Structure 1
Amino acid sequence: MEINLGNQPGMQRPPLIPQPDPFGNAFYGAGSGMIRSGLGAYGEKFLGSSSEFMQSNISQYLSDPQYYFQVNGHYVRNKLKVILFPFLHRGHWTRITEPVAGRLSYKPPVHDINAPDLYIPFMAFGTYVVLTGFSLGVFGRFTPEALSLQFTKGLVGWFFQVLLLKGLLYSMGSSEAPLLDIVAYAGYAFAGMSLAVLMRIFWSYSYYFLLPWTCICMGVFLVKTMKRVLLGGARSYEKQSSTHHYLLIFMAVAQFPLLFWLGSVGG
């Protein structure tokens, strides 16, 4: 006979008590611990390798932006002399190294005249834009559109200069220079451009003497700088010295059309 107590009123079904599993809790605790420790070790390894990969690539292509703004007045004056009068620079063109955290690192610009910085390029670019706008006003051609065109032209010229230097280093088998180094070297051209545009405001004929001089000085400065980078980073420079010399000459000659295009105010 089957007795159903669940349907009778006043009767309660006794609660079901789960039977203890002598192996379940042990396996569960051990399994969860192994999973947590395994995932933690894998995550730490993955994050560590990713962090190392990111740091190595950032240091290779971008470096530390704060490094390029460690300048003072003494450095700025001497650096402008090297850019505008590279023939008078009697010192060496190699950068100074120092041990940092067990490895060699370059000294900041405030302690090394040959170190690249971004303070001069940014200040020179801003001065170039202001002087071109003032020149447009002097010659009666100032409009907001014309000033915007000069600003855009300056950025495009800076970008082309970066591509030129980066492509040159890649062709020579030395593409390890950080990107901000290349941006700094390319931006130094605006120092001479600002001087040429300024003198054109006072005497228009001086522009046709200063601009070629700026092109020559910028070409010499970049050739000296690129040879220093190549000699420091590429061992195949001596094996293909003739080809590298032609590429360096091409880079120096390319400064003429690029800087003349940047100097065509209102054109």
Structure 2
Amino acid sequence: MDSGRPADGFRQPAKVRTRGSTHSLGHPSHLFEDTSGNMEVPPSGPGYEGSAASFGLARPGILSDPMMSNLAMAYGSSLASQGKSIVGQNIDRFIPVSRLKYYFAVDTIYVGKKLGLLVFPYMHQNWEVRYQQDTPVAPRVEVNAPDLYIPAMAFITYLLVAGFALGTQSRFSPEVLGVQASSALIWLVIEVLAILLSLYLVTVNTDLTTIDLVAFAGYKYVGMITGVVAGLIFGRTGYYVALGWCCISIVVFMIRTLRLKILSEAAAEGVLVRGTRNQLRMYLTMAIAAVQPFFMYWLTFHLVR
């Protein structure tokens, strides 16, 4: 038995050839040889655009052409102008911007006269609104015209005064002031909706608009501010005196103003219809005016301690 050869069941495994040659194995440093230089560089030229694009080297975009950029800018400008015109035509359906400009056409002289009329309306004689070419004149030249500037500023000032009053009593917090603002706004909306419903039920043909009602309902914030400020300076007695005076003033102001608005169509009706509807309209006018002091007291009594 030849001892130099292995047995049949114990053959030595065959040597596996590797890709590296003997020369590579003999030089271990070649195992880490940098082969990045062997990558083929894509050819360039007029006929190789597709190959360049496949390697991520796309040619410049269309917008790099000055002519195409100008066309795109012109098209975008035309789209923007068309969109602006469409919005301008449809926004008046929901927000009467042209009408709102009328209600904010005020100046300092008008604001001073209107505030004096709200606080002391007893000596004022002429309550009619002047018209020019079937449209009422702007508030800045007609003190009897309704506006939204004074109600808006009075609402904001009322919140500031309320926050100051709560702060002097160590009861101020953003949440409390938010509740105060929400409550005042909700009561204003409820009041306007109730007046609109009442006018519909009584079948009153009047030129009063919803914005007019918001303006008239917002005038009571002037008296509310006066009452709270008087309460902060003179205490509860000053609050009741000032608020009582302002409540009487706003009732007189509302009756004399709304009487002309609500009864404006009575002359065109028959005698019998005019008599019955006049009573309903007068009751409605007095009810709208009489509810103002309740809102004024409800929204201010807790601010003065």
- The TM-score, its normalising length taken from structure 1, stands at 0.70
Cα contact 1:124–1:190 (8 A) shared by 2? yes
Equivalences for 1:152-163 in 2 at 5 Å?
A: 152-163=182-193
Q: Give the structure 2 partner of residue 73 of structure 1.
A: 108
Q: Give the structure 2 partner of residue 86 of structure 1.
A: 121
Q: Give the structure 2 partner of residue 207 of structure 1.
A: 239
Deviation, structure 1 residue 263: 1.1
Q: Give the structure 1 partner of residue 280 of structure 2.
A: 243
Equivalences for 1:135-150 in 2 at 5 Å?
A: 135-150=165-180
Q: What is the letter of the counterpart of residue 137 of structure 1?
A: G
Choose the corresponding residue for 2:293, options 239, 256, 265. 256
Cα contact 1:157–1:262 (8 A) shared by 2? no
Which structure has the bigger radius of gyration?
A: 2
Q: Give the structure 1 partner of residue 56 of structure 2.
A: none
Higher RCO, 1 vs 2 (CA within 8 Å, ≥6 residues apart): 1
1:220 aligns with 2:252: yes
Cα contact 2:159–2:177 (8 A) shared by 1? yes
Choose the corresponding residue for 1:232, options 250, 264, 269. 264
1:188 aligns with 2:219: yes
- List alignment gaps of at least 5 residues for structure 1: 1-50
CA RMSD of aligned residues (A): 2.6
Identity of aligned residues (%): 33
Deviation, structure 1 residue 78: 0.6
- The TM-score, its normalising length taken from structure 2, stands at 0.62
Q: Give the structure 2 partner of residue 112 of structure 1.
A: 142
Q: 1:178 to 1:172 in 2, by over 3 A?
A: same
Q: What is the letter of the counterpart of residue 97 of structure 1?
A: Y
Q: What is the letter of the counterpart of residue 123 of structure 2?
A: L
Q: 1:172 to 1:259 in 2, by over 3 A?
A: farther
Distance 1:62 1:94 in 2: 25
